[in-house]
Amino acid sequence: MSMAQLHHWCKGEGISPDNALLVKDVPDDTEVSFIEETLESVKALGRVRVRGRMYDPQLESLTVLCECREKVNVKTLPPDVLPSNTDRPWRLVGASAEQTTERNKPDENPVLSQAELAQTCAPDAIIRAVGELMEKQGRFIGESSAYRRLRTFSGVVPTPPGEEQLDSWLEQARLMVETSERPDKEKRMRILESLKGPASEIAQAVHFNDPDATPQEYIDALENAFDTPETGEELYFAFRHLCQKPREKLSEFLKRIEKALNRVVQRGGLPASAANGARLEQLIKGATTSDLMLLNLRLRERKNSPPNFLQLLNEIRSEEGYEASLASYACVWTTGH
């Protein structure tokens, strides 16, 4: 299982299994720098960098994916390494040459060969074979998706290249917390591994005050530390003054409205139940260059039963596409005459 896990994880992170290894039994509060320093004590590995961490609820510890400058020779790789100031070793798992070679070969034993299919035309046999194949693919996808990481956030302004701004990072983190079925400890690790600089210091302070803090509490602390100090009422006031910019498509204006509206709701400036009505009302009020489209979509007549964001966006984009096709046709007709 560890060997398959290593190969799947490497594929998800885009690194070579020949230069990678898994480190098991790592305590969940271990700093990345300490992990790298400990592994670099094994001279054969060269420089080591942590590429991912995953919490194992059965072992109650981390499994860490590391990338090494040198190729990992499993024949000389020690079975474990003992970190300083502890008597609990970390297990090391590398990819054997035989495993890597086998994974690069075409599958010589598929679930059901062509000859077997010809001999076994019974529908139940085919259904069973397809089911086994789908189950195998499903396991792989499920394992790989567990290793997807949040983008990096430091809280530094202006945002350094390759990092996320606060709003984008918060959206990713909230989506992960709300939709992932992984344990809270793993969600917390995924948040922590995405942080650096000032943001990492805030997370460390949260952990120091409450080692059992939930992932949402980490997100809230980061939002409070780096977001603007505006209240829900102030954000709602700014939301009510949004207007369409010159040459801005109505669909793009709607996206700006939605982003501002989400912040208003999150800060308590408006109940979530009133979001659809507020969105439509502000779209109608602020759309200064799209009167004809508002008329065609009959949006003013729908205030009593406002559509949600996705419905509204789909309708507007369809109308924009229709208008673009008419404009293109008119241009061709004019050129031809």
Is the bond preceding residue 89 a cis peptide, omega within 30 degrees?
no
- Same domain? For 239 and 330 the reply is yes
pTM, rounded to two decimals: 0.45
- Same domain? For 244 and 317 the reply is yes
Rounded to whole angstroms, the maximal C-alpha distance in the chain is 87
What backbone torsions phi and psi does residue 73 show, to the nearest 5 degrees? -95, 105
Distance CA 207, CA 201 (A): 10
- Same domain? For 219 and 272 the reply is no
Distance CA 143, CA 8 (A): 7
Q: What pLDDT, on the 0 to 100 scale, is given for residue 137?
A: 52
Distance CA 198, CA 218 (A): 14
Looking at the structure of the chain, the number of domains it has is 4
Q: What pLDDT, on the 0 to 100 scale, is given for residue 191?
A: 92
SS3 of the chain: helix, strand, coil, percent, to 5: 55, 10, 35
Q: Is residue 69 part of a domain?
A: yes
Q: What pLDDT, on the 0 to 100 scale, is given for residue 230?
A: 78
Distance CA 44, CA 70 (A): 7
Q: What pLDDT, on the 0 to 100 scale, is given for residue 271?
A: 93
Q: What pLDDT, on the 0 to 100 scale, is given for residue 126?
A: 58
What backbone torsions phi and psi does residue 29 show, to the nearest 5 degrees? -100, 15
Identify the CA nearest to 51 among candidates 17, 2, 78, 99.
17
Identify the CA nearest to 91 among candidates 71, 51, 61, 67.
61
Q: Is residue 64 part of a domain?
A: yes
Q: Which residues, listed in sequence order, are joined to residue 94 by a DSSP beta bridge?
A: 21
The predicted-structure confidence for 62-107, as pLDDT tens digits, reads as follows 999 999 988 888 888 888 888 887 778 889 988 764 444 444 444 4
- Same domain? For 20 and 63 the reply is yes
Identify the CA nearest to 164 among candidates 222, 85, 243, 92.
222
Distance CA 136, CA 139 (A): 5
Q: Which residues, listed in sequence order, are joined to residue 64 by a DSSP beta bridge?
A: 23, 53
- Same domain? For 210 and 272 the reply is no
- Same domain? For 100 and 11 the reply is yes
Q: What pLDDT, on the 0 to 100 scale, is given for residue 105?
A: 45
User: Which residue among 104, 126, 156 closes a domain?
Assistant: 104
Q: Which structural domain range is residue 180 located in? A: 166-226
Is residue 186 within 8 Å of 257, Cβ to Cβ? Answer: no
- Same domain? For 95 and 123 the reply is no
- Same domain? For 26 and 56 the reply is yes
Q: Is residue 269 part of a domain?
A: yes
Starting from the edge strand earliest in sequence, which strands make up the sheet with 61-68, in order? 48-56, 61-68, 20-26, 90-94, 80-81
- Same domain? For 217 and 244 the reply is no
**15: which DSSP letter?**
-
Is residue 90 within 8 Å of 24, Cβ to Cβ? Answer: yes
User: Which residue among 226, 260, 276 closes a domain?
Assistant: 226
Q: Is residue 152 part of a domain?
A: no
- Same domain? For 10 and 81 the reply is yes
Q: Which residues of the chain have pLDDT under 50?
A: 97-121, 139-147
Q: What pLDDT, on the 0 to 100 scale, is given for residue 103?
A: 43
Token couple for 225? 């530390």
* Coil, strand or helix at 312: helix
- Same domain? For 236 and 307 the reply is yes
Q: What pLDDT, on the 0 to 100 scale, is given for residue 331?
A: 60
Q: Is residue 217 part of a domain?
A: yes
Q: Is residue 153 part of a domain?
A: no
CATH classification at residue 64: 3.30.70
**What are the start-end ranges of the E strands in the chain?**
20-26, 48-56, 61-68, 80-81, 90-94
Q: Is residue 78 part of a domain?
A: yes
What backbone torsions phi and psi does residue 162 show, to the nearest 5 degrees? 85, 0
Q: Is residue 61 part of a domain?
A: yes
- Same domain? For 326 and 252 the reply is yes
